[in-house]
Amino acid sequence: MHRAELLMAVAMMALSVVFMVMATDLPIGWVPGSGPGGGAFPFWLSLIMLVAGAVILVRELRARQTGRAVRKPFINRVALLDIGLVCAAVVATIGLMHVVGTYVAIPLFLVFYLRVIGRHGWSLIAAFAVVTPIVLFLFFEVTLRILLPKGITEPLFFPLYAFFF
Amino acid sequence: METLALLADGFALSLSPLNLFVVVLGVTIGLFVGAMPGLGSVNGVAILLPMTFLVPPASAIIFLGALYYGAMYGGAISSILLGIPGASTAVATTFDGRPMAQQGKAGLALIAAAVGSFVGGTLSVILFTIFAQPLADVALAFGPAEEFALVLLAFTTFVGLGGDDIPKTILMIVFGLVLSTVGLDLISGQPRLIFFDLPGFYSGISFLVLAIGVYGIGEILWTLETTRGKAPVTTARIGLRDLWAGVRQLSHSVRTMTFGSVLGFFVGLLPAAGATPASLMAYGMAKTLSRKPETFGKGAVDGVVAPETANNAASTGSLMPMLTLGIPGSPTTALLLGGMVMWGLMPGPMLFIEEPGFVWGLISSLYTANAFAVIINLALIPMFVWALRMPLTILCAMVIVLCIVGGYAPDQRLHDVWLIAVFGVGGYLLRKLNYPLAPLVLALVLGPLMEKAFRQALISAQGDPMTFLERPLSASFLVLAAVFFLLPLLKGLRRRPADAPGRTP
């Protein structure tokens, strides 16, 4: 917990420095007659962010010295595995949406999630993996006219487009 | 009288078949969302906002308002039947709701929660109806200087009253504000903070992307960790006779209800407070004022009634500054505000003049939403018992799919979906370390307004910063903001507090 606390404070401070450097692309000072420049708002707020991060960091370091630091683990081990798997699955799904499209990526995600995390039976998994993309297609593409990414599977949808539009 | 005429016109809009249908749908979905452990109104609104493109903007907002109300009712269901709060706003409901369920009085507890929610919701909507127009009239006099001061005031309430770790609260506020500056500079139109030169950042970071990330993906990760063990569901059956007996028993709780409604409404007005603290305060007050305080925590009906009236009243309370001033009173109303801006309905005093039909239609829909929520809530109790038995993994999988596809839909960019994943994981980690997330979301929504008001005020004053102090209203807001900001310092001087870990919404 304590180490995570330190890491987060440092990460937030690093992020604020990045923001400050990027903000200097636009004037960060006072433009006479009209107030602050375009970079001023992000720059000075990032500075406050840096200070707030530093306060948290110093406080945590002092807590370590006085031995008051919280020693309980940050995430419990069993949950960590599940959380890692879900994060990886989400990243893989979004990545796959670029390549093979929504209608392959989403069922794959459902199969993975319901099987590996949920340990459900195959008949239930199959039902969800088939029904979900159909509902998504009918709702987004047919009703809202929002085309979801299809990647290389796009040509397979031409007959459906022809039918619905 | 004029208000009544406007409200009557409003009913003409909200009672149209489409709007009546979206209210019923919104309330029903809201009840289910609220009843699911972990998911509350803010998650429901964040995840389902992209789905509302289907209907005209006014109906979409009415739908989300009904969803918000439904979720407030629904939170009590899992508090009582599972002993796990359906949302943080229903934490106080578990104190007496769970003991009642264990004593076999789950039905009475559910009736008390539903009726309490109805009374709290309705009384607060009446207060809302009375105060909305006068407040909007006052706000008409606001210029950019006052707007800036008011937003600043909203943020300082988090520091003074939020109850979370103060450096972390400040960090989250400014982080949200900095994220809101990504994209094109409002005044000069030049690009700034374009990370990795990705073209996706030119249009800025949408509030929806942050909200879906934090309240969708982040919430699922949180739920995965916290609700690993399965809690036993208590069954409840409610017949007409139980209903009648319950309502008769509730006649003793009139005082608690009135008091919870008024308290909740006014606590809900404050951006940093809202439904969770309001319900806890109402519970505490009900216990103090009760003739039998020893029954609290052991299944007192008033212990369910008080928090449920207060949290519903607070959710209405937080709608009022959002609609009249354009300053949301809670994360959920911040999302509603973001949605309204997206549909070109800019909340604030001008909305009352330009779109009175919409404003009063929305207000009147809150009355119908309350009426439907109490009926649907009581009628569908067997359905909720069934839904709560559904494995949580199915719900989690569906929510993640909705987050991914719903995040893509508004602007049709996978860039946004990637950001959702980043915010989801980041938000989860921040929440684990007790960084408050509500100020982050509010800051992202209010950031552009704050910067624009600040710079416009200075431009019209030829760059003279004294303009903020020379205008009486703006000056008084700033003084009040300074008081809120210094409040924790003053408290700290009185007694050195122990390092208490903060709460997370």
The pLDDT tens digits of the residues spanning A109-127 come to 999 999 988 888 999 999 9
A20 at the B interface (CB within 8 A)? Answer: no
Per-residue model confidence as pLDDT tens digits over B429-464: 999 999 998 899 989 988 988 988 888 888 888 888
A117 at the B interface (CB within 8 A)? Answer: yes
- Are B429 and A35 inside 8 Å of each other by CB? no
**Residue of A18, A70, A86, A97 to mutate for B, most B C-beta atoms under 10 A:** A86
The mean per-residue pLDDT over the stretch A64-87 comes to: 77
The C-alpha atoms of residue B376 and residue B366 are separated, in whole angstroms, by 15
Domain contains B504: no
Domain contains B82: yes
- Are A53 and B185 inside 8 Å of each other by CB? no
Domain contains B440: no
- Are B501 and A70 inside 8 Å of each other by CB? yes
> Residues B37, B82: contact at Cβ < 8 Å?
yes
**Residue of A25, A46, A59, A90 to mutate for B, most B C-beta atoms under 10 A:** A90
| Residue among A38, A42, A97 minimizing CB distance to B188 | A38
Supply the pLDDT for residue B449: 87
**Residue of B165, B193, B230, B420 to mutate for A, most A C-beta atoms under 10 A:** B193
The C-alpha atoms of residue B336 and residue B173 are separated, in whole angstroms, by 19
What are the phi and psi torsion angles at A43 (to 5°)?
-65, -55
Residue numbers in B near A11 (CB within 8 A): none
Question: What residues form DSSP beta bridges with A31?
Answer: A35
| Residue among B170, B401, B414 minimizing CB distance to A132 | B401
Shortest distance, CA A159 to any CA of chain B (angstroms): 22
Return the ∠ at Cα A66 (arms to A63 and A69), rounded to 5°: 40
- Are B225 and A79 inside 8 Å of each other by CB? yes
A120 at the B interface (CB within 8 A)? Answer: yes
User: CB-hemisphere CA count at 13 Å for B489?
Assistant: 7
* DSSP states of A139-161: IIIIIS--PPP-GGGGGGGHHHH
Tokens of B372: 């439907």
The amino acid at residue A92 is A
Supply the pLDDT for residue B493: 65
Supply the pLDDT for residue B263: 92
- Are B170 and A39 inside 8 Å of each other by CB? no
- Are A41 and B454 inside 8 Å of each other by CB? yes
- Total beta-carbon pairs less than 8 A apart between chain A and chain B: 173
- Are B409 and A8 inside 8 Å of each other by CB? no
Residue numbers in A near B174 (CB within 8 A): 45-46, 48-49, 52
Supply the pLDDT for residue B499: 45
> Residues B95, B49: contact at Cβ < 8 Å?
no
A136 at the B interface (CB within 8 A)? Answer: yes
The C-alpha atoms of residue B471 and residue A64 are separated, in whole angstroms, by 48
Per-residue model confidence as pLDDT tens digits over A9-65: 999 999 999 999 998 888 888 877 777 888 888 999 999 999 999 999 999 888 877
B504 at the A interface (CB within 8 A)? Answer: no
Per-residue model confidence as pLDDT tens digits over B85-103: 777 788 889 889 888 888 8
Percent of chain B with pLDDT over 70: 95
- Residue B8: count other Cβ atoms within 10 Å of its Cβ: 11
Domain extent, residue B62, equals 2-143+203-419
Domain contains B20: yes
The C-alpha atoms of residue B400 and residue B341 are separated, in whole angstroms, by 26
Cα–Cα distance list, B135 to B141, B233, B318, B482 (Å):
11, 45, 14, 23
A17 at the B interface (CB within 8 A)? Answer: no
Name the closest residue on chain B to residue A133, using Cα atoms: B401
The C-alpha atoms of residue B256 and residue B250 are separated, in whole angstroms, by 10
Per-residue model confidence as pLDDT tens digits over A123-146: 999 999 999 999 999 988 888 888
Strands B183-184 and B191-192: antiparallel
What are the phi and psi torsion angles at A76 (to 5°)?
-70, 145
Residue numbers in B near A95 (CB within 8 A): none
B188 at the A interface (CB within 8 A)? Answer: yes
Name the closest residue on chain B to residue A115, using Cα atoms: B393
Which residues does chain B have with pLDDT short of 50? 229, 497-505
Name the closest residue on chain A to residue B455, using Cα atoms: A35
Domain contains B434: no
- Are B224 and A86 inside 8 Å of each other by CB? yes
A128 at the B interface (CB within 8 A)? Answer: yes
A21 at the B interface (CB within 8 A)? Answer: no
Supply the pLDDT for residue B498: 46
Supply the pLDDT for residue B501: 44
CB interface of B with A, residues 422-481, below 8 Å:
424-425, 428-430, 432-433, 435, 451, 454-455, 458-459, 462-463, 465
Name the closest residue on chain B to residue A16, using Cα atoms: B175
- Are B401 and A109 inside 8 Å of each other by CB? yes
- Are A32 and B175 inside 8 Å of each other by CB? no
Give residue A1's pLDDT band: very low, low, confident or very high (50, 70, 90): low
The C-alpha atoms of residue B253 and residue B249 are separated, in whole angstroms, by 8
CB interface of A with B, residues 46-105, below 8 Å:
46, 48-49, 52-53, 55-56, 59, 63, 68, 70, 74-76, 78-79, 82-83, 86-87, 90-91, 93-94, 97-98, 102
- Are B190 and A63 inside 8 Å of each other by CB? no
Domain ranges for chain A:
2-65, 77-164
Tokens 């264990």 sit on residue: B102
Q: Which of B179, B186, B65 has the alpha carbon at shortest distance from B455?
A: B186
- How many structural domains compose chain B? 1
B343 at the A interface (CB within 8 A)? Answer: no
